[in-house]
């Protein structure tokens, strides 16, 4: 009988010690710090996209010849289409973008030499640019730069000269993912289209016209 009692006590003690050890393991498991992984960077998305854009330019036209020159303001409205491609490596997003825009409005030289009463403006404007950005949540701040081209219109009264010119552009912007395949952007560009020539038939005498300016625009893109 005594042996049976000792055996029962030993069994109860063993079971109690095992239960206490398991409880300590459970406590350690409960209070073990979880592994937290940083969320992957997001962006406006990789792939091709198509969009629309519109904006306003605070531009200048500089009329000059071998003797003198003068500059005038050429406020310009623009609207058109955008096409581009994004690729992403870590948080860096890079790609290309091209756009073509109709443009309107002109500036007038008034009575200043060398082209009295001459007008100048853009008939269309486009770019082919590279883009490099860094994704921050749903926002993509970026720098951009490349080739710019456009049609420069100049002349006096109803007489007009048209010249297609190429130059360069550089700027920066922010694109924001709206959800799904949509994104919106705000962008600033500086551009310089170089020198056009207004012929004597339109400006009274051969006159160089240099057109450059600052463009602020917004856009809406759809990725596919």
Q: In sequence order, what E strands does 44-181 have?
A: 47-64, 69-89, 92-104, 106-108, 119-134, 139-155, 161-179
Highest mean pLDDT among 17-31, 32-46, 47-61: 47-61
User: What angle is formed at CA 182 by the lines to CA 89 and CA 38, rounded to 5 degrees?
Assistant: 40
**What pTM, to 2 d.p., does this model score?**
0.78
pLDDT digits (tens, 9 = 90+) for 90-133: 999 999 999 999 999 999 998 889 999 999 999 999 999 999 99
| 136 three-class SS | strand
For residue 9, the model assigns a pLDDT of 42
* Phi, psi (deg, nearest 5) at residue 21: -65, -40
Q: Identify whether residues 55 and 31 lie together within a single domain.
A: no
Q: Over 90: is that where the pLDDT of 88 sits? A: yes
Q: Over 90: is that where the pLDDT of 4 sits? A: no
Q: Identify whether residues 53 and 21 lie together within a single domain.
A: no
For residue 168, the model assigns a pLDDT of 98
Separation of alpha carbons 172 and 187, rounded Å: 6
Separation of alpha carbons 193 and 97, rounded Å: 18
Domain hosting 135: range is 47-223
For residue 26, the model assigns a pLDDT of 44
Average pLDDT of the segment spanning 20-46 = 49
Q: Over 70: is that where the pLDDT of 19 sits? A: no
219 or 22, which is more confident: 219
Q: Does residue 158 have a cis bond before it (omega within 30 degrees)?
A: no
**Cα distances (angstroms) measured from residue 170 to each of 35, 92, 203, 213:** 44, 19, 31, 11
Q: What does the mean pLDDT of the chain come to?
A: 86
- Report strand pairing: 92-104 vs 69-89: antiparallel
Separation of alpha carbons 140 and 29, rounded Å: 41
For residue 20, the model assigns a pLDDT of 53
Of 145, 165, 162, 140, the C-alpha closest to 153 is 162
Is residue 29 classed exposed, middle or buried when 0-12, 13-18 and 19+ CB atoms within 10 A define those classes? exposed
| Structure-token pair, residue 7 | 């055996």
Q: Identify whether residues 27 and 118 lie together within a single domain.
A: no
Average pLDDT of the segment spanning 84-91 = 95
Separation of alpha carbons 199 and 208, rounded Å: 9
- pLDDT range class, residue 55, cuts 50, 70, 90: very high
Q: Identify whether residues 28 and 94 lie together within a single domain.
A: no
For residue 203, the model assigns a pLDDT of 92
31 or 100, which is more confident: 100
Of 123, 120, 107, 118, the C-alpha closest to 200 is 118
Q: Identify whether residues 58 and 89 lie together within a single domain.
A: yes
For residue 66, the model assigns a pLDDT of 86
- pLDDT range class, residue 24, cuts 50, 70, 90: low
Q: Identify whether residues 104 and 20 lie together within a single domain.
A: no
Give how many domains the chain has, as a whole number.
2
Q: Identify whether residues 26 and 91 lie together within a single domain.
A: no
91 contacts: CB under 8 Å, gap ≥ 6: 41, 43, 134, 135, 136
Q: Identify whether residues 118 and 200 lie together within a single domain.
A: yes
**Domain presence at residue 60:** yes
**Domain presence at residue 42:** no
To the nearest whole percent, how much of the chain has pLDDT over 70? 80
Q: Identify whether residues 150 and 180 lie together within a single domain.
A: yes
């Amino acid at each position: 009988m005594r042996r049976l009692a000792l055996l029962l006590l030993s069994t109860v003690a063993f079971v109690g010690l095992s239960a206490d050890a398991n409880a300590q393991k459970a406590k350690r498991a409960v209070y073990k710090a979880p592994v937290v992984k940083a969320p992957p960077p997001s962006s406006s998305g990789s792939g091709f996209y198509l969009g629309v854009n519109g904006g306003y330019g605070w531009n200048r036209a500089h009329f000059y010849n071998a003797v003198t020159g003068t500059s005038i303001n050429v406020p310009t409205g623009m609207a058109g289409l955008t096409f581009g491609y994004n690729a992403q490596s870590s948080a860096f997003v890079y790609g290309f973008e091209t756009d073509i825009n109709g443009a309107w409005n002109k500036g007038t030289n008034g009575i200043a030499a060398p082209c009295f009463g001459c007008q100048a403006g853009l008939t269309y404007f486009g770019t082919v640019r590279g883009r490099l950005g860094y994704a921050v949540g749903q926002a993509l701040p970026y720098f951009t730069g490349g080739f710019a081209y456009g049609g420069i219109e100049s002349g006096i009264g109803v007489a007009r000269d048209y010249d297609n010119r190429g130059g360069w552009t550089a700027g920066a912007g922010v694109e924001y993912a709206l959800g799904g395949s949509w994104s919106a952007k705000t962008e600033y560009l500086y551009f310089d289209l170089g020198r056009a020539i207004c012929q004597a038939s339109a400006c009274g005498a051969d006159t160089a016209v240099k057109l450059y300016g600052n463009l602020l625009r917004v856009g809406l893109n759809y990725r596919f």
